[in-house]
């Protein structure tokens, strides 16, 4: 498995530099030895698309499994290296899932960073922050409150071992809330400022 990771990493480095021939050669070697490696099929399809062989790319992308997830990862990976290519993948992704707030948010940040304020504004305008508030703030907050209340009730009944597990879970919910709430609040802020 370590060898797969090294070959994939080397091919990605070539791909990032647009050294497509070297990247494709490594991907072909990887796929010959590991024909079930979905990320390899995805990268082969992407390389074919970017080198003008789109008619061949589809058969590779079909074998890749979750193209959406892999393309999202690729778009994020390319943000600092090649913003133009990253934006092209974000554009494809928002066509696949136009209700995905995280896509619009990341696309907006990328456009803002590259000085394209009109596109950033358009991206932020597509955000639907209420869904993010529910999923990133209210749900973890609700779980945390329920766990704390349950833990206190268990402590009162003398079930300290189970109560400690439930209260530890409440702490996990707190960190979940802390991690995700910031992103939701950023989305709300960008929507208000630009949307």
What are the pLDDT digits (tens) for 7-66? Answer: 889 999 999 999 999 999 999 999 998 899 999 999 999 999 999 999 999 999 999 989
Q: What share of the chain is helix, strand, coil (3-state, %, to 5)?
A: 85, 0, 15
Here the contacts of 21-24 (C-beta below 8 Å, separation 24 or greater) are: 23/47, 24/51
Does one domain contain both 1 and 49? Answer: yes
Does one domain contain both 115 and 141? Answer: no
Which of the two residues, 137 and 121, has the higher pLDDT score? 121
- Across the range 112-118, mean pLDDT stands at 95
Answer whether residue 111 is part of any domain: yes
Answer whether residue 70 is part of any domain: no
Instruction: Please tell me the distance from the alpha carbon of residue 171 to that of residue 166, in angstroms, as a whole number.
Output: 9
Does one domain contain both 18 and 59? Answer: yes
Q: Is the pLDDT of residue 1 over 70?
A: no
The range of the structural domain enclosing residue 115 comes to: 77-127
Answer whether residue 72 is part of any domain: no
Does one domain contain both 106 and 152? Answer: no
Task: Identify the burial level of 156 via C-beta atoms within 10 angstroms of its C-beta, where 0-12 means exposed, 13-18 middle and 19 or more buried.
Answer: exposed
Task: Identify the burial level of 45 via C-beta atoms within 10 angstroms of its C-beta, where 0-12 means exposed, 13-18 middle and 19 or more buried.
Answer: buried
Mean pLDDT of the chain: 91
Q: Is the pLDDT of residue 185 over 80?
A: yes
Q: Is the pLDDT of residue 134 over 90?
A: no
Which domain CATH number covers 89?
1.25.40.10
Does one domain contain both 2 and 60? Answer: yes
Of 6-20, 63-77, 171-185, minimum mean pLDDT range: 171-185
Answer whether residue 71 is part of any domain: no
Global pTM reads 0.81
Angle at 50 (CA atoms; ends 49, 56), nearest 5 degrees: 25
Alpha helices (runs of H) in 34-159, residue ranges in sequence order: 38-50, 54-63, 67-78, 83-96, 101-113, 117-125, 129-133, 139-156
Instruction: Please tell me the distance from the alpha carbon of residue 115 to that of residue 125, in angstroms, as a whole number.
Output: 17
pLDDT at position 175? 87
Q: Is the pLDDT of residue 2 over 80?
A: no
Q: Is the pLDDT of residue 111 over 70?
A: yes
Answer whether residue 16 is part of any domain: yes
Does one domain contain both 110 and 122? Answer: yes
Does one domain contain both 21 and 46? Answer: yes
Q: Is the pLDDT of residue 195 over 80?
A: no
pLDDT at position 123? 96
Q: Is the pLDDT of residue 124 over 80?
A: yes
Does one domain contain both 94 and 106? Answer: yes
Does one domain contain both 116 and 157? Answer: no
Does one domain contain both 169 and 135? Answer: yes
- Total count of domains within the chain: 3
């Amino acid at each position: 498995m370590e060898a797969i990771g090294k070959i994939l990493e080397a091919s990605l480095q070539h791909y990032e530099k647009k050294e497509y021939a070297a990247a494709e050669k490594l991907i072909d070697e990887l796929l010959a030895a590991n024909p079930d490696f979905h990320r390899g099929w995805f990268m082969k399809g992407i390389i074919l698309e970017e080198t003008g062989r789109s008619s061949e790319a589809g058969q590779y992308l079909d074998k890749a499994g979750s193209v959406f997830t892999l393309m999202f990862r690729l778009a994020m990976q390319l943000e600092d290296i090649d913003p133009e290519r990253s934006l092209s993948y974000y554009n494809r992704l928002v066509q696949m899932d136009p209700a995905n707030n995280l896509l619009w948010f990341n696309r907006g940040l990328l456009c803002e960073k590259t000085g394209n304020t009109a596109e950033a504004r358009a991206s932020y305008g597509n955000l639907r922050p209420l869904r993010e508030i529910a999923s990133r703030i209210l749900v973890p907050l609700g779980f945390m409150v329920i766990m704390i209340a349950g833990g206190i009730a268990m402590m009162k009944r003398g079930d300290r071992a189970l109560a400690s597990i439930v209260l530890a879970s409440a702490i996990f919910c707190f960190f979940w809330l802390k991690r995700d709430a910031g992103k939701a609040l950023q989305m709300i802020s960008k929507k208000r400022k630009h949307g």
